[in-house]
Amino acid sequence: MALIVCKFGGTSVASPERLRNVAKRLVARKQEGNDVVAVVSAMGKTTDELMGLAAAVNSNPPTREMDRLLSTGEQVSMALLAMAIEARGYQAMSFTGRQAGIETDGTHAKAKIVKVHNERIMEAIDAGYIPVVAGFQGIDGNGDITTLGRGGSDTTAVAVAWGIGADICEIYSDVDGVYSADPRLCPHARKLDQISYDDMLEMAGAGSGVLQMRAVEFARKFNVVIHSRSAFSDAQGTFVKEECDMMEEAVITGIAHDTSEVKVTIRGVPDATGIAAKVFSALAGNMVNTDMIIQNVSEGGLTDISFTCPASDLPRAEETLARVVPEIHARELSIDESIAKVSLVGTGMKSAPGVAAKAFATLGENNINILAISTSPIRLSVVVEAGQAAEAVRLLHTAFGLDSDEIFEETQLSAEEIAAKLAKGR
């Protein structure tokens, strides 16, 4: 007997048939003797369709109205899921973000949760209902509808779990947990039984898309245990929690990769005080999120400055640098869009020297050139040519002893298929 929050994403509720399946799972959890609260995203592509309508009436829609528009998507799925549960003979009651007591600040489109008022949900649970909460939304102090930003439903689920003191927050999706590497690239990847918050945050930040980083941060802060699992099977997934129960901590938990960034290089930059500051404050001022920054040693008073940033920020970066490069009297700008970031993540890295040396040696022996490096206490990231990323992931996975004996069956991809998967989706 436990108190469980179950969150289902847009794919899991995309059709009446899938909604009925979700209702079946929730009722099964209830029948096992648990108290259950569901959190849902909007059906399938609803949010995209609503954004399309908005763009058709206003090229720059006011965020307050945008939030009111988008929040209807989750309100449709919450009501339908509640109906589907009632069709199975169990009592259900849907809750908007407002009714679920999700209080946020007033920053429309990316509101932050400031408080969770749990009274109405607790009353519904006590009365025997399965509450169904619309994810992604809340209200601000003025009573206006806000949304939490893309993927905010995971955050709603964790916030509700914390608010009602749930034993666990189950996040159902179309993957069955967190893997030591993307099994589509790395056939020997292992599903992790558990992972710490810190490792999960670094994995998410380094490109693993299973859980929203923000939801994991919230879970870490308030010590909410997450169970990431499949919406389409009963198999156990991956538990995300403070301390792992393993006898000996692995040095490396997993390897993430990210092909969504590009590398920008400014060549022939005069090596003078304040030049780098000028470049990066101009970029920040134009909303360019720079990730890694590399500055070569100076030769003849000139140096090269490189940085990586999300491909989606590239137009703004180019616009900014077209102005800044002449101002700082640098020679030229070059852009490399065919890069990938490969990251080793592991809390155990802190107490295990030699990780970087071993990683560099592994890649070097296999003629994989490292274009840039960045590190945190529990992460080592290298930038490589995009075409070598899959090989880099597999080599490092083997070198750090992560390989499973089983081969991930679904995905023995050819080199071409891997290249296609790694192609930037712009």
Residue 424 DSSP label: -
Given 3, 14, 20, 107, the residue binding its own copies (CB under 8 A): 20
Closest by Cα among 167, 155, 227 to 192: 227
- Which structure tokens are listed for 77? 């799925």
Label the pairing between strands 3-8 and 168-173.
parallel
- Using the rule CB under 8 A, is 79 a contact of its own copies? yes
Nearer to its own copies, 51 or 333 (CB): 51
**Contact predicate 239/194, CB 8 Å:** yes
- Using the rule CB under 8 A, is 94 a contact of its own copies? yes
Instruction: Give the footprint of its own copies on residues 25-64 (CB under 8 A).
Output: 50, 53-54, 56-59, 61-62, 64
What are the residues facing 31 on neighbouring strands?
Answer: none
Given 3, 14, 66, 356, the residue binding its own copies (CB under 8 A): 66
Segment near its own copies (CB under 8 A); pick from 16-24, 148-156, 179-187, 223-231: 16-24
CB of 401 to its own copies, least distance (A): 48
Given 69, 168, 333, 373, the residue binding its own copies (CB under 8 A): 69
**Contact predicate 292/354, CB 8 Å:** no
CB of 89 to its own copies, least distance (A): 11
Segment near its own copies (CB under 8 A); pick from 19-27, 105-113, 148-156, 374-382: 19-27
Contact track, its own copies, 123-142, x by CB under 8 A:
--------------------
**Contact predicate 218/160, CB 8 Å:** no
Distance CA 237, CA 194 (A): 8
Given 29, 45, 51, 65, the residue binding its own copies (CB under 8 A): 65
**Contact predicate 342/257, CB 8 Å:** yes
Nearer to its own copies, 71 or 153 (CB): 71
CB of 109 to its own copies, least distance (A): 13
Distance CA 169, CA 243 (A): 16
CB of 72 to its own copies, least distance (A): 4
CB of 20 to its own copies, least distance (A): 6
Angle between helices 213-222 and 152-163 (to 10 degrees): 20
CB of 123 to its own copies, least distance (A): 12
Nearer to its own copies, 53 or 335 (CB): 53
Segment near its own copies (CB under 8 A); pick from 18-26, 151-159, 182-190, 302-310: 18-26
**Contact predicate 197/405, CB 8 Å:** no
- Using the rule CB under 8 A, is 354 a contact of its own copies? no
At residue 172, the 3 state secondary structure works out as: strand
CB of 425 to its own copies, least distance (A): 26
CB of 99 to its own copies, least distance (A): 7
Given 93, 216, 225, 359, the residue binding its own copies (CB under 8 A): 93
Distance CA 95, CA 112 (A): 19
Label the pairing between strands 92-95 and 130-134.
parallel
- Which structure tokens are listed for 17? 């048939």
Given 5, 6, 23, 390, the residue binding its own copies (CB under 8 A): 23
Segment near its own copies (CB under 8 A); pick from 76-84, 273-281, 346-354, 397-405: 76-84
Distance of CA 222 to the CA centre of its chain: 19
Residue that is written with structure tokens 């030591």 in the block: 180
Nearer to its own copies, 142 or 414 (CB): 142
Nearer to its own copies, 129 or 239 (CB): 129
Dihedrals phi, psi of 16, to nearest 5 degrees = -55, -40
Given 68, 117, 267, 421, the residue binding its own copies (CB under 8 A): 68
Closest by Cα among 152, 138, 253, 296 to 212: 152
Dihedrals phi, psi of 232, to nearest 5 degrees = -115, 0
Segment near its own copies (CB under 8 A); pick from 79-87, 213-221, 256-264, 295-303: 79-87
- Which structure tokens are listed for 397? 């996975």
Distance CA 284, CA 267 (A): 20
Distance CA 148, CA 157 (A): 12
Distance CA 352, CA 336 (A): 33
CB of 157 to its own copies, least distance (A): 20
Residues that bind its own copies (CB under 8 A): 16, 19-20, 23, 50, 53-54, 56-59, 61-62, 64-66, 68-69, 71-72, 75-76, 78-84, 86-87, 92-94, 96, 99, 143
